Amino acid sequence: MTPDSRAHLVKALILDEGVRNFPYKDTVGKLTIGVGRNLDDRGLSDQEIGVLLENDIAIVVEELDRHLPWWREMNDVRQRVLANMCFNLGWPKLRGFVNTLAAMQRGDYQVAADGMRASLWARQVGARARRLAREMETGATDLPGTVRA
């Protein structure tokens, strides 16, 4: 297929399929997204999943930079903990951790970890919260294959 022919096909597919940013059921009930991507039958490739993850991480970092500029002053492990929480919760819910975030900002990582452990979020995500609270508390990670602070 020539580049011109491919470009024409892209235009035709966008015209025929439309562009949808959120999943929807197509005319035969298949979960679909984007330009006719059938998630039920095709799903996502590992490469596509990686692209989505990198984009989502970039959004989290931008939100933290915008709302909590002090987060960059923590060590790498604690930055990853906060980014992990923001990824999981989203910024609107993370900002509700007022006392925990304030403890992080002042470097009182024991209080921050205690606040994490005492939250509804911790009860919902279990082992994830226990690991992240321990990492916030100690500033070190024991996750295999992870760079230590």
| Domain limits, the chain | 3-38, 46-138
CATH number for the domain whose boundaries are 46-138: 1.10.530.40
Which is more confidently placed, 146 or 114? 114
* CA–CA distance, 107 with 15 (Å, rounded to integer): 54
Task: Please determine, for residue 144, whether its predicted confidence score (pLDDT) is greater than 90.
Answer: no
Length, in residues, of the chain = 149
**Are residues 112 and 104 in contact, defined by beta-carbon separation less than 8 angstroms?**
yes
Query: What's the CA gap between 141 and 83, in Å, rounded?
Result: 14
pLDDT tens for 40-88 read: 999 999 999 999 999 999 999 999 999 999 999 999 999 999 999 999 9
